[in-house]
Structure 1
Amino acid sequence: MIHPPDQPTALHAGGDNSIAFLIGVTADEWTLLILRHALQGVDSFDQWLELLPISPPVLSGRLRRMAELGIVAVSGDTYPLTRRGAALWPMIVTLAGWEKVWGDDHVEPLPRLRHLRCGADFTPLMACGACGEVAAARDVVGEFGPSGSWPRSAPSAATRRPAGGSANLGPSFFPQSRALIGNRWAAAMLSAAYLGATRFSQFHRQVGAPATVIADRLRVFREVGVLHAEGDQDRADRATFRLTDKGRAFFPVVMSGVEWSQRWYVAPEGPALEFQHRDHRFWMLLLCAECEKPLAGRDIEVG
């Protein structure tokens, strides 16, 4: 299925929902790194080959899949971002902002975010678009909507990324974020944590990954510092796992991806996830932490 780049894709009733597309598209290290450079103006095959430690077949596969999904257009050897692709800027900006505040051991400098309206280097600040109030993850409650369920949110063969490993990705990607959303199981487990999963059995039942994968992701999340364990810390099946401040601070990254996917991949039953802030529906507004004005993609320089 070819997805039109400038209008939302109508999904099939009862099939993969928007979250499945989000995980299938963005829970991939290469795709996010290609996007990072695309938002800086890179659009040619040779430029990406120069910038990334990626093989031509893997790059070709990713770009072909991104074109099928309407994220890039194809014009000879160039792949410019479409409206759908450019709309992913909040996810890349919140990733960079989170790494700047919470990441460590960066082998290479992180991208510099500059707000052209005020001229300052900035980190993004999450606010409620309905009421304008700055909001933390604790202030927002999410639940499945009409098209939401764990089976429908798991990427099928139609929504998964193409084959091609990332073991030699190198140090230029956001290193901490790789552990959280670098593959579909990690992204699904992080989503489960935000929706209230705290026990091994809950992660296992909801995400549907093998038990060994669940145990490994819980270990990695603890090492990164986004979850902490209470109870028997030597037995994952007996411990309770809760989000840390660092884990909750990643919520704007997830929220930006959810809003993008629900804008561009629309299920006939309604949204997959719904969010509430106080007594009203929540939608995310990103502010510049320096001037506290709303951010827009055209006003951000990524360098």
Structure 2
Amino acid sequence: MMRAQRRVEGAPVNTQTENHVLVHLPDRPTTLPEGDANAVGLTLGLIGDEWNLLILRHALVGVRRYGEWRTILPISHAVLTRRLAALTEMAIFEKAGVENQARRFEYRLTKRGRDLWPLLLTIWAWESAWVPEHVESLPRMVHRVCGKEFLPVLSCGACRLAVRPRDVTGGFGPSGTWERSVPTATTRRRSTSAEGGAGLFPQTMALIGNRWSAAILGAAFQGLHRFRDFEQRLGAPPTIIAERLRLFCELGVFEQTPSEERADWPSYRLTEKGRAFFPVVIVAIDWGQRWFRAPEGPALVYTHRACGRDFHARLTCDACSAPLRGNEVEVKDPA
């Protein structure tokens, strides 16, 4: 989907999509072509790749050089090269030469890239609370302001009240359709069997690491719960829908119940574990709509019921209730 190209630090970046070339400026939102994939589809295509998330996780704590990622991650030369090129093309990274070191480069996070820290934090919090199967222990997060270990709390950016899924209402905006919101590419998980089991995000990748999984999860948060609705709205093959619904039930994210219309028409509804994934979804959407803008308007529009204002995600510390900022979160080794 993307073509690597040579560039200099600070220059615009072009990304080749199916029908258009997008120009990405490191510190400005990308303008999307009218009628093309919207912010939701592009964002899910980006974050639904475990290697991208692992690369970003280490970049956010200071990793900048190719060799450092090769040392830290069980990643091949070819895969790392492709991911860094793609992330640079999307202006998540800027590639810059190292002073006094010929042919040495660093991949420095842009404002757009640094703005992804809330997404990694919500994924960490969900995996920590709901997924016991981790080959490597998750790190601890400490809020430097209060000095305590914490969990992020999803809050309303307008009134700062804590928010749960039922507290937010809304749906598709001017550029929002099911077709335009399906992830733009079929993403690939790293092989857990070849690399020693699940990584840091095993179940997150099961939910968003495949274009149809991500689409079904998003549709569930939009209120869909019947097999035929998933099939008709998303346009996915019935066998794919059935396989993903079965997987989500096995993970405990969905529960199957008899339909109110007919007992032989099961409903698939989000469980408590599934609803707890809402911060990951809404933070990703919030990031995407800040950085990818369709001329028609936003893909999704949400309102906070309590204050009646447009909802934009904000994370606060559960220990001291202060707003969280990226430079105030300290990552520590597991105890």
Q: Which residue of 1 is the match for residue 30 of structure 2?
A: 9
Structure 2 CA distance for aligned equivalents of residues 39 and 300 of structure 1: 10
Q: Which residue of 1 is the match for residue 254 of structure 2?
A: 227
Query: What pairs with 1:125-136 in structure 2 (closer than 5 Å)?
Result: 125-136=153-164
Distance verdict in 2 for CA 1:225–1:281, change over 3 Å: same
Q: Which residue of 2 is the match for residue 73 of structure 1?
A: 94
Query: What percent identity do the matched residue pairs reach?
Result: 48
Q: Which residue of 1 is the match for residue 212 of structure 2?
A: 185
Structure 1 CA distance for aligned equivalents of residues 248 and 42 of structure 2: 23
The amino acid of 1:93's aligned partner reads L
- Are residues 1:34 and 2:55 paired? yes
Contact 1:13 1:269 (8 Å CA) reproduced? yes
**How far did 1:115 drift?**
0.7
Q: Helix, strand or coil for the counterpart of 1:280?
A: coil
**How far did 1:138 drift?**
1.4
Q: Which residue of 2 is the match for residue 280 of structure 1?
A: 309
Contact 2:182 2:212 (8 Å CA) reproduced? no
Contact 2:148 2:319 (8 Å CA) reproduced? yes
The amino acid of 1:150's aligned partner reads W
Q: Which residue of 2 is the match for residue 251 of structure 1?
A: 278
Contact 1:71 1:82 (8 Å CA) reproduced? yes
Choose between structure 1 and 2: higher strand proportion.
2
Contact 2:257 2:267 (8 Å CA) reproduced? yes
Name the count of aligned residue pairs. Answer: 296
Structure 1 CA distance for aligned equivalents of residues 283 and 93 of structure 2: 19
- Are residues 1:109 and 2:109 paired? no
State the structure with more CA Rg.
Answer: 2
Structure 1 CA distance for aligned equivalents of residues 198 and 73 of structure 2: 10
Unaligned runs of 5+ in 1: none
Q: Which residue of 1 is the match for residue 165 of structure 2?
A: 137
Distance verdict in 2 for CA 1:166–1:145, change over 3 Å: same
**How far did 1:164 drift?**
6.0
Q: More relative contact order in 1 or in 2 (CA 8 Å, sep 6+)?
A: 1
Choose between structure 1 and 2: higher helix proportion.
1
* TM norm structure 2: 0.84
Q: Helix, strand or coil for the counterpart of 2:136?
A: coil
Contact 1:138 1:248 (8 Å CA) reproduced? no
Structure 2 CA distance for aligned equivalents of residues 259 and 63 of structure 1: 23
Unaligned runs of 5+ in 2: 1-13, 16-23, 97-103
The amino acid of 2:191's aligned partner reads A
Cα RMSD, aligned residues only: 1.8
Structure 2 CA distance for aligned equivalents of residues 198 and 164 of structure 1: 26
Q: Which residue of 1 is the match for residue 203 of structure 2?
A: 176
- Are residues 1:43 and 2:64 paired? yes
**How far did 1:239 drift?**
1.1
**How far did 1:39 drift?**
1.1
How big is each residue's C-alpha offset from its partner over 1:269-297, in whole Å with a ceiling of 9 and x where there is no partner?
11000111113221111110111110011
